[in-house]
Amino acid sequence: MVTTLYLIRHGQTVGGEEKRYKGHTDVPLSERGAEQMEGVSEYIVQAGSALTAVYCSDLSRSVKSAGIVARPHSLRPILIPSLRERNFGAWEGMSFEEIQERYPEEFKAWAGNPLAFSPVRGESTVEVKERVIKAFNQIIEKHKGEHIAIVAHGGTNRVILCHLMGIPLKNIFRIEQDYGALNIIEFWDTYPVVKLVNFTGYVLNQGQGFS
């Protein structure tokens, strides 16, 4: 009995071209982000997968993205707050440059070892893993043998992928998750096989199909 998971990062957000830590800040999905999710949705449909459930965090960029993925399957997204991005504390809304300027030592330490260090007044990587993996395991256990989707965030997805592939959390940033990234994982009973990581080749080319 094989369970297929489409693990997706939400599409680009308004102002997403700037590299800022949004975390728990509720930033809306941009028009470009909606287009990206339409591409993901069409890719899943063309793959012949009939989804039985779509889960997402309760942040609007994730909810709207999940709604686009769920629509062709006549589903409504199930909101799980535990699937939120990391809370970046004092760094919420700040750019990389701003953090490096105001918190140079803290940022350097965290970037070098995100397991041992945390954003100032933010969540630790272990805290993120505990809430995310608990929710993730419950979802997978509930949908054995089905095709499902989880539409979450870059940090959330990295935690899940590290967990499934046995990658130490200190190496979490060695996995990229672009806006609209699609990851595909198959579970053979309880054994996970990662089939695809950070795929964005579905991108629509001016309405002419996939590029």
CATH code at position 53: 3.40.50.1240
Residue 155 domain boundaries: 2-86+124-199
Domain assignment present for 104: no
More confidently predicted of 20 and 136 = 136
Q: Per-residue pLDDT for 209 more than 50?
A: no
Crossing angle, helix 31-46 and helix 60-70, to 10 degrees? 40
Domain assignment present for 118: no
Which pLDDT value is given to residue 203? 63
84 C-beta neighbours (distance < 10 Å), count:
23
Which pLDDT value is given to residue 149? 98
Domain assignment present for 45: yes
Distance, in Å, from the CA atom of 97 to the CA atom of 69, rounded to the nearest integer, reads: 34
Q: Per-residue pLDDT for 210 more than 80?
A: no
Which pLDDT value is given to residue 125? 95
User: pLDDT averaged over the chain?
Assistant: 93
Domain assignment present for 211: no
Domain assignment present for 29: yes
Domain assignment present for 117: no
- pLDDT digits 0-9 by tens, 58-73: 999 999 999 999 999 9
Give the side-chain half-sphere CA count within 13 A for 146: 13
The token pair that represents 189 in the structure block = 């009973």
Domain assignment present for 189: yes
Which helix (H) or strand (E) element contains residue 186?
strand 182-188
Distance, in Å, from the CA atom of 114 to the CA atom of 202, rounded to the nearest integer, reads: 31
Distances (CA, A) of 197 to 18, 78, 118: 23, 23, 26
- Rg, C-alpha atoms of the chain: 17
Which pLDDT value is given to residue 156? 98
Calculate the CA 49 to chain-centre distance: 20
Domain assignment present for 27: yes
- Count the domains in the chain: 1
Which pLDDT value is given to residue 120? 93
